[in-house]
Amino acid sequence: MTLRTLPATVLYNSPISMALSDLDIVAAKKRIAGKGFIAALDQSGGSTPKALAAYGIEESGWGGDKEKMFDLMHAMRTRIIVNRAFDRRISGAILFEKTMNSQIEGVFTADYLWQKKQIVPFLKVDEGLEEEQNGVQLMKPMAGLEGRLKSAASRNVFGTKMRSVVHSANAAGISAIVAQQFDAGKTILESGLMPILEPEVNIKSPDKSACEMLLRDAIITHLDTLPKDAQIMLKLTLPSEPGFFASLIQHPRVLRVVALSGGYSCRDANEKLAQNPGMTASFSRALVEDLRANQSDEEFTAALDAAIESIYRASLT
């Protein structure tokens, strides 16, 4: 079975008959809206050395050779994805572009995820962050977005993810960050892909609660401007006040609200997630924090299974 994408006018605005080619899109949306969480396997660029170091592979392991570094990262991701613990408890996985264009057991990664495991593939599409201004870090201009979206569609990817960061409760900055996310999100919708908007709030912000209030209100304003049948996804920092994002979770323009771990340990992130009914996880560091390159297959499977089970249970609230 191959995951197929359709134009946004078909996906969101047109009453259509359920042709065979449409069924995978419907199945993918159902998977994301149902039980399970999204694994974030999209570390890229500057975050890759840190991810490898946490896994037990220091920079000396690739000696400044970036291609070898990315090969080691793909090997780590492959070990996770093919593992039997990486199963139906996971509804989706976010990939780095190089991972999307690489293969697992002779099959492109997105196809392997969907065909072998019924896990919905997403692609990270942002190109990093600007320097902080007005209390936020906007995304760098995405000159290659159109080409990246075409590539994602050709690789049978269902949706995308893009990240920016809020550091302080600056109304102008937060307004700009939400506007940028939605502008790019509309382009992604028009390409037939599902956008995950990720305006992260820094968990160390001294006015985190105020940031979240401004962010939530700005998001609702933009959601209300979307076409009636359009839907997006949101990836948000676990809020200071339990249940604070209920209005976003229940909004008809939102398919799913997922949570990033944001630097919390897996245990702390799970505790906070369980206090937010309707929110599910999209963890990265918290998912892999106990995985090591030198673990035996049995040790690796046990550590991965324990993390997946704990995150899955926290996501069921």
Q: State the catalytic residue, choosing from 124, 161, 186, 235.
A: 235
Question: Is residue 289 a contact partner of residue 307, using CB atoms and an 8 Å limit?
Answer: yes
What average pLDDT does this structure show over 277-304?
96
Residue 157: its pLDDT value, please?
95
Active site residue 208: no
pLDDT category of residue 96 using cuts at 50, 70 and 90: very high
Give this prediction's pTM: 0.91
Residue 10: pLDDT over 80 = no
Residue 63: pLDDT over 90 = no
What is the per-residue pLDDT across 168-211, written as a single tens digit (0 to 9) for each? 999 999 999 999 999 999 999 999 999 999 999 999 999 999 99
pLDDT category of residue 6 using cuts at 50, 70 and 90: very low
95 by DSSP, 3-state: which?
A: strand
pLDDT category of residue 226 using cuts at 50, 70 and 90: very high
What average pLDDT does this structure show over 62-80?
91
Structural domains for the chain = 88-314 (3.20.20.70)
Question: Is residue 315 a contact partner of residue 96, using CB atoms and an 8 Å limit?
Answer: no
Residue 66: its pLDDT value, please?
86
Active site residue 235: yes
Question: Is residue 125 a contact partner of residue 162, using CB atoms and an 8 Å limit?
Answer: yes
Question: Is residue 232 a contact partner of residue 201, using CB atoms and an 8 Å limit?
Answer: no
Residue 16: pLDDT over 50 = no
Tokens 């609230």, residue located: 317
The Cα angle at residue 283 between residues 150 and 128, in degrees rounded to 5:
50
Q: State the catalytic residue, choosing from 29, 198, 200, 212.
A: 198
Tokens 């382009």, residue located: 187
Residue 11: pLDDT over 80 = no
Residue 114: its pLDDT value, please?
95
For the chain, what percent of residues have pLDDT higher than 90? 84
Residue 149: its pLDDT value, please?
96
For the chain, what percent of residues have pLDDT higher than 70? 92
21 vs 60, more confident: 60
What average pLDDT does this structure show over 59-73?
89
H-helix or E-strand spanning residue 267? helix 266-273
